[in-house]
Amino acid sequence: MRATSGPKRWPASAVCACPCGKTEVSAGYWCASLLIDGTASAGVRLEVDVAGRIARVQRGVAAEAADIRLGTVMPGFGNAHSHAFHRALRGQTHGEDGDFWLWRERMFRVAAQLDPSRYQALATAVFAEMLVSGYTAVGEFHYVHHRPSGEPYETEHAMELALAAAARQVGIRLLLLDTVYLQGSIGRDLAPEQRAFGDGSAAGWLTRWQSLRSQLARDELVTLGAALHSVRAVPPDAMRELLHGLPPEVPLHIHLSEQPQENEDCLAAYGLTPTGLLHTVGALSPRLSVVHATHVRDDDRKLLGDAGVTVVMCPTTEADLGDGIGPALALASAGTPIALGSDQNAVIDPFLEMRGLEMGERLASQKRGRFAPAELLTGASTGGYAALGLGRHRLQPGDPCDLVEISTTSVRTIGSVPEQLALTATASDVVRVVVGGRLVAECGQLVGGAWPATLMADALDRLST
């Protein structure tokens, strides 16, 4: 039976000052059913320390009087690839003919309208929708750094700090993937609509990145990563300079082989595929996450797998833009961990991304059960957190207490065994969300009382899409 008690708030606990070696407990959550590594366990109690991490896991126990009682619970989902401002195009472009490149023209027009205030409002609404949908962390692939003219704002890092403020306001973990974007395409200068993205040179970007890192160094929810936009936007010499200048522990992301044209242009310019080029400059390593990898060759897959590179698949976006079905199973078989992302945010629903990954494989192979439900959950949670540099996320002691409670009594989920909810639930079935041991969302609403739709209406009123 699913627990029905409402959310409880708890007083801040004083940290134990004696030399007893015990972990001071701040809160306790009792889960009627908890999925750990894709397997449901009944009656699981999680003790949470004052840092918001799991201090103790007890299975098959009754709830204690002060516990917050939850029903069926999963680890929080990590959205490994997002462009928050693309959300402004939801419902505006889906009926159009054309392809990715035509859609991109509309996207540039939205980017040109952004300023720090508008961007913060839009990102707040998008992050709020993510949170109530079950995402507890997001990697924001951010490249709109400056004014449309390319001139910086008076306030240093104004756009980046707007995104950080949005994440803090909502209560979601944010890896800000500050993105290098130096040329419009291979061998060509930035087009006028791309000037807001550029920093002039790899050295210019590194200087700005280091300054931003110092500002975000003590942030509890927001961490700074890095991204190379693509092999189209960053030439090889600049890649080498950036790889040398970035600390080795910083997560690094890049769009890779999303479109056949990217492969063709890269082969024509360098005699290498995009993956081959990344290998040549020394970019392939376990800290790298490549996004999409829709059109990689067999030799590319081997390079990625041998290097332990994560592949971030974005099934709803890849379908909406007509990109193609990526070889997810072949990549996983080659040794690449799989993570999932919402990308253009035309859809914000971790369950639909999981479902899209599996259904794409079924359509391509004409066989069922290509990814087990537990593997889908791993990609959406553990895989996403790893790609975001957030460490282990398996609901074990020391892991962050980031949880999502799922209704098992909705018209979609009634009758589902917990292990198969990844293939039946949707974001509408998310009941409560916990980040860092604190309840942050309940039944589609932020704990502070805000509704994502209201936030989004306000943000869109400031834009002309």
pLDDT in tens, 81-139: 999 999 999 988 877 776 777 888 889 999 999 999 999 999 999 999 999 999 999 99
Catalytic residue among 49, 343, 399, 429: 343
Domains of the chain, earliest start first: 25-75+399-452 (2.30.40.10), 77-388 (3.20.20.140)
Q: What residues contact 411, with CB distance under 8 A and at least 6 apart?
A: none
Residue 445 to residue 118: CA distance in whole angstroms: 22
Q: Which of 292, 320, 349, 393 is catalytic?
A: 292
Pair 267, 273: CB distance under 8 Å: yes
Furthest-apart CA pair in the chain: how many Å? 68
DSSP letter at 52? S
* Cα-to-chain-centroid distance, residue 445: 20
Cα separation of 283 and 304, whole Å? 10
- The list of the chain residues with pLDDT below 50 reads 1-23
Give the Cα separation of 395 and 392 in Å (integer): 8
Q: What span, in angstroms and rounded, lies between the C-alpha atoms of 361 and 422?
A: 16
pLDDT of residue 21: 42
Judge whether 145 counts as a catalytic residue.
no
Q: How far apart are CA 38 and CA 74, in angstroms?
A: 8
Give the orientation angle of helix 158-170 with respect to helix 202-216, to 10 degrees: 40
Contact yes or no for 246/252 (Cβ under 8 A): yes
Q: What is the pLDDT of residue 464?
A: 74
* Per-residue confidence (pLDDT) for residue 98, from 0 to 100: 67
The amino acid present at 182, given as its one-letter code, is L
Decide: helix, strand or coil at residue 461: helix
Residue 18 has what pLDDT? 32
DSSP codes joined into one string, 248-297:
TTS-EEEEES-SHHHHHHHHHHHSS-HHHHHHHTT--STTEEEEE-TT--
Task: Tell me the C-alpha distance between 403 and 162, whole Å.
Answer: 26
Q: Which of 254, 247, 240 is nearest to 203 (CA)?
A: 240
CB count in 10 Å sphere of residue 63: 18
**343 catalytic, yes or no?**
yes
pTM of the entire predicted model: 0.93
Is the distance from CB of 360 to CB of 326 less than 8 angstroms? yes
pLDDT of residue 25: 61
- DSSP SS3 for 208: helix
Residues 159-180: pLDDT tens digits? 999 999 999 999 999 999 999 9
Nearest to 134 by CA among 456, 444, 452: 444
Structure tokens that stand for 325 in this block: 């079905």
Buried residues in 248-262 as b, exposed as e (16+ CB within 10 A): eebbbbbbbbbbeeb
Distance CA 324, CA 346 (A): 17
Q: Could you tell me the two tokens for 202?
A: 């790899």
Beta bridge partners of 88: none
What distance in Å separates the CA atoms of residue 421 and residue 144, rounded to the nearest whole number?
37
